[in-house]
Amino acid sequence: MAIQTFTAAQVLTAAQMNALQGNDYNQTVSTKTASYTLVAADKGTKIVMNSASATTITVNTSLFSAGDTLTILNIAAGVTTVTAGTATVSSAGSLALSQYSSGTLYFTSAGVSVFQANGVTASAGGLTLISATTIGTTVSSVAVSNAFSALYDSYFVTVSGGVSSAQSLLTMIFTGSAASYYRATVNVVYSGGAGTFIAQNNDSSFTDVGTCRSDGLFAAITLNHPFLTKPTYGSCGSGSTANTAGKLTFLYHDLATSYSGLTISPSSGTLTGGTIRVYGYATS
């Protein structure tokens, strides 16, 4: 039961008394599966975030009073970030909560709050899992939203598990962009034969960032500052669809644009199963 306002001489029912007493031991809990903006009724409760993708908790002014508190707990793989809307949010630690991290939001006035994080938060490790997107059944593309944010400059993207209906390559674009993709690949034959060099100039996607096979999907991609308003650099390694050669690829996206998401697709056929994971490199 959330904190309630009672009037003078009001008679409390047995149910109200039991609910108030119960709240001392078990906070009222509301579970959110997407980004959420706090409301006045959240005072004194616990907000539980449960999303595989990155989410935000937005804090606005004139909803709470000095001394009000509420608890935020993240139980899923997607990082939850406590974000100042119209209110001020201060913290001695990170405002990003990784899986199973929590904290208390304490208001010093109607528009000023302090977030007190409990335990280890998302910035404590070298790599933090931001999102884990499950690939569906016989899909031709998989969009990953809320992959990039101001919390990180560099990212590591992996594709693993699952199968492909055709031996092909994985392609990637940044959300909303279909131009200015450049790629340089060194292709080395495992048996020691002559290698090749492959160039991609001002294309509509990165056409080879991983491999699609009937026994699995494989990609490991590093990206530098896709969220910043500047060109994005990256690299990746993969093998050929026939296990005959290894590839080292350098990526360059020549647009000074901020992106929050990406889309992975097979160059032919469809994908079934597997997971696309996005990690952020800690900046300190």
Question: Could you give all domains of the chain from N- to C-terminal order, each with its CATH number?
Answer: 14-124 (2.60.120), 127-281 (2.60.120)
pLDDT at 121 over 50: no
Give CA–CA dist 192/284, Å, rounded.
42
- Cβ pair 238, 211 in contact under 8 A: yes
- Cβ pair 128, 78 in contact under 8 A: no
Confidence class for position 53, pLDDT limits 50, 70, 90: confident
Give the tens place of pLDDT for each residue, 249-272.
Answer: 999 999 999 999 999 999 999 999
Alpha helices in 101-192 (DSSP H): none
Q: What is the pLDDT of residue 164?
A: 94
Q: On the CB side of 39, how many CA atoms lie within 13 Å of its CA?
A: 4
Give CA–CA dist 175/143, Å, rounded.
8
Give the tens place of pLDDT for each residue, 192-247.
Answer: 777 788 899 999 999 999 999 998 999 999 999 999 999 999 999 887 777 778 88
Residues in the chain: 284
What is the distance of C-alpha 79 from the center of its chain? Answer: 6
- Cβ pair 255, 226 in contact under 8 A: no
First-to-final CA distance of the chain: 40
Confidence class for position 21, pLDDT limits 50, 70, 90: low
Q: Among all chains, which residue has been given the structure tokens 């409990």? A: 118
- Residue 17 tokens read as 């008394």
pLDDT at 114 over 80: yes
Q: What is the pLDDT of residue 217?
A: 93
